Amino acid sequence: MRMSRRDAIRAGLCFAGTLSAQGYFNSAFAVNQVDAPLVPSLKKDAEIAWQFFTMKTPGAPIGLVPAAVWPEGSSLGRYNILTMWDAGSLILAYISARSIGLIEEKEFDQRMRTVMAFLKNSTFRWSQLSLPNYRTQIVGGSAAEGGYDTTDTGRLLLALHILDKATNSAYGAKEQVARWNIAATVNKGQPYDIKSSSRYEARCFNYIHYIARSYALWGIEVDTGFDRELKEGDESARQAFIDHVAAVGPIATEPHANEAIELGHSPRSRILADALYAAQQERYAETGRLTSVSEAPIDKQPWFTYQGYNLDAYAGPQWPVDSVVTERKWATKEFAETYRMTSSKATYLWLAERGDAYSQKLRNFISAKAPSNGFGFHPGIYEASGRAPRIMDVNTNATVLESIAFVLGDRKPLVEMRL
């Protein structure tokens, strides 16, 4: 469940020429010899992650799941709302589950048709524009909050592009994107959000490079604020880019490792992934604490955190844990130390993107400690207490699935997958 800084969880938180969506699927992906020993255990991990998507929510069609669930007495509390980032994660989760062999063709088709119907109905109208709505109820399909979010939409656009490629356009992704006026939210390269009936410049922070690449898949140009070409061996340009990103704010595993497994690395995402991964390994060597950072829900107020790494040592804490709510009471060292975690989704992203000894150490830790009792993976393990947050979310489990699909698919980006 990806959320902007102003949003917290309030409830506690065919082949060519045919129109059929049948007949595309072939899960016999090659696995390289290095990854072969991982296959049985990764398939078990995928089965755990898939548990999240098998939950039935009263009133919601099969294929739509809550953004998050948590224990509430003898049952579950549910956050029955999805953002467009969540919807993109659903699409990638179902593509990944089908490629791994967790679901058959018929179930994949049912779930994808449900998601596409949800997107068609989840429309926000502002002036003359039709746009993907900010936050939408999965039961009934009404808007939980009307608006438009650039970052969330970027994730969705990337997922729809992968879906279109994987299924030979079987699900009308191009037609759905054409129903929206997304290009009109960008003016001279500057993207805009629309919240509370007002339009203002989107602050995508260091997601902007991933978002710009996602929009470009659909012919929409977004300015990242850094125009210099990054050529291999040009250390001056690389350092200029690092300095630019450092001035924007912290970086985290998402979305730079996502970009690697979804589209293949760009020069920008590779530089940032390299810098972060090296810093995480260094912190582990110095402290003995397994380090794998990402944004994550937590099980106490304010319900959501942004956890990352400051490239600029003077910009603030080297490993910040920022609250989704910008209030002074959360901006404390005590808060950071209590809720700092080893992220489950970041761990599986690194296993996919790196596949080295440290990433396997991370994965062994998370696979042993983070599974819930029948509802997928918890978002991570708190460093201080060694326990998992008592919450499970769609983005954690979708990311685990897409990371495993990448590994089992011979480490080819998802955009090359053909179901």
- The mean pLDDT of 187-216, rounded to a whole number, is 97
- The mean pLDDT of 71-100, rounded to a whole number, is 97
Q: Per-residue pLDDT tens for 28-50?
A: 334 666 678 888 999 999 999 99
Q: Per-residue pLDDT tens for 242-269?
A: 999 999 999 999 999 999 999 999 999 9
Could you give the CA distance from residue 312 to residue 390 in angstroms, rounded to a whole number? 33
Could you give the CA distance from residue 144 to residue 159 in angstroms, rounded to a whole number? 22
Q: DSSP state, 184?
A: G
| 21 is a domain residue | no
Check whether 127 has a pLDDT greater than 80. Answer: yes
| 23 is a domain residue | no
Residue 327: per-residue pLDDT? 76
Q: Are 234 and 203 spatial neighbours (Cβ–Cβ below 8 Å)? A: no
Domain that holds residue 88: 36-416
Q: DSSP state, 319?
A: S
Q: What is the DSSP string of 4-31?
A: -TT---SS----TT-----S--------
How far are the Cα atoms of 57, 278, 335 from residue 75, in angstroms, in the given order?
12, 42, 29
Quote the number of domains for the chain.
1
| 24 is a domain residue | no
Q: Are 149 and 134 spatial neighbours (Cβ–Cβ below 8 Å)? A: yes
Q: pLDDT band at residue 17, thresholds of 50, 70 and 90?
A: very low
Q: Are 342 and 366 spatial neighbours (Cβ–Cβ below 8 Å)? A: yes
Could you give the CA distance from residue 114 to residue 57 in angstroms, rounded to a whole number? 14
Grouping H, G, I as helix, E, B as strand and the rest as coil, residue 170 is coil
| 321 is a domain residue | yes
Residue 278 is part of a domain; what is its CATH number? 1.50.10.140
Q: Are 241 and 226 spatial neighbours (Cβ–Cβ below 8 Å)? A: yes
Beta bridge partners of 305: 296, 323
| 408 is a domain residue | yes
Mean pLDDT for all residues in the chain:
91
| 12 is a domain residue | no
| 143 is a domain residue | yes
Q: Per-residue pLDDT tens for 304-343?
A: 999 999 999 888 899 999 998 767 788 899 999 999 999 9
Residue 347: per-residue pLDDT? 98
| 11 is a domain residue | no
Model's pTM, two decimal places? 0.92
Give yes or no for a cis peptide into 302 (omega within 30° of 0).
yes
